[in-house]
Amino acid sequence: MNKMLFTGNAAIGEAAVRAGCQCYFGYPITPQNELTEYMANNLSRRPGCTFIQAESEIAAINMVYGASVAGVRAMTSSSGPGISLKQEGISFLAACQLPAVIVNMSRGGPGLGSIAAAQSDYHQATHGGGHGDYRTIVLGPSSVQELADLTYRAFEMSDKYLIPVMILGDGMLGQMMEPVEFKYEAPEVLPVRADALRGAKGRPSRFVRTFTSNPSELEELNWSLFRRYQLLQKEEVSFENYLTQDARLIVTAFGIGARIAKGAIKQARGYGMKVGLFRPITLFPFPREQLKELAKTTSYFLDFEMNMGQMIDDVKLSLEGAGEVSFYGRPGGVIPTSTELLRVISRIYSQKGLG
Amino acid sequence: MKKIFSRPKSLKKAVFHYCPGCGHSIIHRIACEAIDELGIQEKAIGVPPPGCSVFAYYYFDVDMVESAHGRGAAVATGIKRAYPGAIVFTYQGDGDLSAIGTTETLHAANRGENITAIFINNAVYGMTGGQMAPTTMLGMKTTTSPYGRDDRFEGYPIKMSEILGQVRGTCYIERVAVNSPSNIRKARKAIKKAFQCQIDGLGYSLVEILSPCPTNWKKSPVEAWKWVGEVMAKEFPLGIIKDTTGKSDAD
Amino acid sequence: MKGRIVIDQMLCKGCELCIAFCPKQLITLSDELNAAGYLPSSFNDRGDCNGCASCAVVCPEVAIEVYRE
The ipTM is 0.95
Nearest CA to A168 among A337, A330, A8, A331? Answer: A8
Q: Is B170 helix (H, G, I), strand (E, B) or coil?
A: strand
- What CATH code is carried by the domain that includes residue B103? 3.40.50.970
Find the mean pLDDT for residues B136-154: 95
Number of domains in chain B: 1
Q: Is some CB atom of chain B closer than 8 A to the CB atom of C23? A: no
Find the mean pLDDT for residues A304-314: 98
Amino acid at B82: A
pLDDT surpassing 90 at residue A188:
no
Domain containing residue B150: 23-242
How many Cβ pairs closer than 8 A exist between chain A and B? 140
- The mean of the pLDDT values for chain A is 96
Domains and CATH numbers, chain A: 4-200+223-235 (3.40.50.970), 240-351 (3.40.50.920)
- Shortest distance between the Cα of C50 and any Cα of chain B, in A, equals 11
- Dihedrals φ, ψ of A235, to 5°? -105, -25
Q: Is some CB atom of chain B closer than 8 A to the CB atom of C39? A: no
pLDDT surpassing 80 at residue B214:
yes
pLDDT surpassing 70 at residue B249:
no
Q: Over the stretch B146-203, which tens digit does the pLDDT of each residue have?
A: 999 999 999 999 999 999 999 999 999 999 999 999 999 999 999 999 999 999 999 9
- Shortest distance between the Cα of B62 and any Cα of chain A, in A, equals 5
- Report yes or no: A164 and A136 within 8 Å, Cβ to Cβ: yes
Is the pTM higher than 0.90? The answer reads: yes
Among candidates A65, A70, A211 on the partner chain, residue whose Cβ is nearest the Cβ of B83: A70
Q: Model confidence at B251, in pLDDT bands (50, 70, 90)?
A: very low
Q: Is A199 helix (H, G, I), strand (E, B) or coil?
A: coil
- Shortest distance between the Cα of B172 and any Cα of chain A, in A, equals 22
Nearest CA to A198 among A52, A66, A48, A64? Answer: A66
Among candidates A54, A70, A96 on the partner chain, residue whose Cβ is nearest the Cβ of B79: A70
Assigned domain for B229 exists: yes
What are A241's strand-pairing partners? A278
Distances (CA, A) of A14 to A54, A180, A246: 20, 10, 39
Give the number of other Cβ atoms within 10 Å of residue B48's Cβ: 29
Q: What is the pLDDT of residue A2?
A: 86
- Residues 6 or more apart whose Cβ sits within 8 Å of residue A293: none
Assigned domain for B140 exists: yes
- Report yes or no: B140 and B41 within 8 Å, Cβ to Cβ: no
Q: What whole-number percentage of chain A has pLDDT above 70?
A: 100
Q: For the CA atoms of B79, B81, B86, B89, what is the dihedral angle to 10 degrees?
A: 60
Amino acid at B114: N
Flag if B71 and A206 touch (Cβ within 8 Å).
no
- Residues 6 or more apart whose Cβ sits within 8 Å of residue A66: B47, B65, B74, B75, B76, B77, B78, B79, B80, B81, B82
Distances (CA, A) of B86 to A203, B10, C18: 15, 16, 36
Rg over alpha carbons for chain A, rounded to the nearest Å, is 21
- Residues 6 or more apart whose Cβ sits within 8 Å of residue B54: A211, B48, B66, B127
Distance CA B79, CA B67 (A): 12
DSSP H helices in chain B:
23-38, 72-82, 94-98, 102-110, 151-154, 160-165, 181-199, 214-217, 221-227, 233-235
Q: Is B151 helix (H, G, I), strand (E, B) or coil?
A: helix
Q: Annotate A100-153 with three-state secondary structure.
A: CEEEEEEECCCCCCCCCECCCCHHHHHCCCCCCCCCCEEECCCCHHHHHHHHHH
pLDDT surpassing 70 at residue B233:
yes
Assigned domain for B2 exists: no
Distances (CA, A) of B180 to A191, B229, C20, C60: 48, 9, 10, 12
Distance CA A128, CA A188 (A): 34
Asked whether at least 3 C-beta pairs link C and A within 8 Å, the reply is no
Assigned domain for B109 exists: yes
Chain C positions in Cβ-Cβ contact with residue B222 (cut-off 8 Å): 15-17, 20
Q: What is the pLDDT of residue A128?
A: 80
Touching B: A residues 189-248, CB under 8 Å: 192, 196-202, 205-211
Q: Over the stretch C14-69, which tens digit does the pLDDT of each residue have?
A: 999 999 999 999 999 999 999 999 999 999 999 999 999 999 999 999 999 999 99
> Is beta strand A249-252 parallel, antiparallel or unpaired with respect to A275-280?
parallel
Assigned domain for B3 exists: no
Q: Prior bond to B8 cis, omega within 30?
A: no
- C-alpha atoms less than 13 angstroms from C-alpha of A314 in its C-beta half-sphere: 25
Find the mean pLDDT for residues A73-81: 97
* H-helix or E-strand spanning residue A263: helix A255-270
Q: Model confidence at B243, in pLDDT bands (50, 70, 90)?
A: very high
Find the mean pLDDT for residues A179-187: 92
Q: What is the pLDDT of residue C1?
A: 83
Minimum CA–CA partner of C69 in chain B: B1
Q: Over the stretch B86-118, which tens digit does the pLDDT of each residue have?
A: 999 999 999 999 999 999 999 999 999 999 999
How many Cβ pairs closer than 8 A exist between chain B and C? 73
Q: Over the stretch B38-65, which tens digit does the pLDDT of each residue have?
A: 999 999 999 999 999 999 999 999 999 9
Distance CA A170, CA A115 (A): 10
Q: Is B204 helix (H, G, I), strand (E, B) or coil?
A: strand
Polymer length of chain C? 69
Among candidates A71, A89, A207 on the partner chain, residue whose Cβ is nearest the Cβ of B68: A89
- Report yes or no: A305 and A312 within 8 Å, Cβ to Cβ: yes
Find the mean pLDDT for residues A252-275: 98
Distance CA A244, CA A176 (A): 27
Distance CA A157, CA A162 (A): 8
| DSSP state at residue B229 | I
- Shortest distance between the Cα of C54 and any Cα of chain B, in A, equals 6
- The mean of the pLDDT values for chain B is 96
Domains and CATH numbers, chain C: 3-68 (3.30.70.20)
Flag if C67 and B181 touch (Cβ within 8 Å).
no
Q: Model confidence at A189, in pLDDT bands (50, 70, 90)?
A: confident
Flag if C20 and B225 touch (Cβ within 8 Å).
yes
Distance CA B59, CA B31 (A): 11
